[in-house]
Amino acid sequence: MPGTRKHPRQAHPRRNASIVATGMYLPERVLTNAELEKLVDTTDEWIQTRTGIKERRIAAEGEFTSDLGAKAALDAMHEGGIFADEIDLIIVATCTADTIFPSTACRIQQKIGAKKAAAFDIQAACSGFLYGLIVAEQFVASHVYETVLVIGAEKLSSIVNWKDRNTCVLFGDGAGAVIIRNRAEGHGILASDMGADGSQSDILSLPSSGCAIPVSEAVIQEGLQYLQMSGKEVYKHAVTAMNSSAEKTLARAGLKGSDIALVVPHQANLRIIETLAQKLKTDMDHCYVNIGRYGNMSAACIPVALHEASKEGRLKAGDNVLMVAFGGGLTWASVALEW
């Protein structure tokens, strides 16, 4: 009607986003340090002393990242009593996608039957799962989606040079998943931080993995299709970035290190975790560590650790949890949440 004033529709107030279920999947094959001694010039003592790793899981030849991720997703869905048609969005963090496109998320959507879900991949290397978790929070908090599935899945054995003793001893395959929803009785994600430093991109990279260095006979001869890492530089940047990010997130959440019931760090190196614990003024008893069993599973590390910690009774309702990661890019991220 003329003269009638239309009022804009009021936006919904932001709501919390909580982890309501977790899941994981690990390949059956266990590769021990003793077996690696037969492949490269290394020893069990050398590996354990410098990394804390005793063994890792290796996916079967015909088992791909989407297979690992789909099984972790189904595990989380079973735990949460959530059906495939309830999932609105699938976010997959991986640096070992089945293919550049279609995305691994689309492949997982088909494998779990989540026909209604949008799906995309996030690539932030070892920080990828936390990047994905932070993105998922925005969709739930803003009322765009009700149920978001976040997966960290990797088949790192496919990009490791098994003749390079400095890298092949570090990595393993696996997948972890969480389901994000609003939960009225809890606070869920309290605060987060993300960061990147592209000037340090060359110290941890996969050179021939895109259009810059297409695969060729020369590339293969140089081994550029394999993961490249400058270990000392990565270590130095990892400790600084993870500690700085964790402190920012704690400050934003109004928490101190002593308020955290459990720190769930990226499982790259036991020494990095120990140094991080010292800087956060906490002890290793308050850090979840499974690197000895699985090695570095990149984006899968934190969701697998979360699932195991939950199953072991180390996470109780109301606990404050701090997750923090660092990866190639360079990238880093941290998230504080109430369990």
CA atoms within 13 A on the CB side of 107: 21
Q: Is the peptide bond before 102 cis (omega within 30 degrees of 0)?
A: yes
H helices within the chain, ranges in order? 33-36, 44-51, 65-80, 104-112, 128-141, 165-168, 217-222, 231-253, 270-279, 291-294, 301-311
Which residue of the set 33, 269, 296, 320 is catalytic? 296
Is 126 known to be catalytic? yes
User: What number of H helices and E strands is found in the chain?
Assistant: 11, 13
Report yes or no: 129 and 302 within 8 Å, Cβ to Cβ.
yes
The answer to whether residues 196 and 123 touch, using CB atoms and an 8 Å cutoff, is no
Is 296 one of the catalytic residues? yes
What would the DSSP string read from start to end of 24-40? EE--SEEEEHHHHTTTS
Cβ pair 112, 85 in contact under 8 A: no
In order of 49, 120, 222, 229, 259, the CA distances from 19 in angstroms are 35, 19, 44, 33, 19
Given 106, 266, 287, 307, the catalytic residue: 266
Q: How many CB atoms lie within 10 A of CB 38?
A: 7
- Report the residue count for the chain: 339
- Active-site residue identified among 106, 126, 168, 287: 126
CA distance 53 to 169: 8
Residues 188 and 337: beta-carbon distance below 8 Å: yes
Mind telling me the catalytic residues? Answer: 126, 266, 296
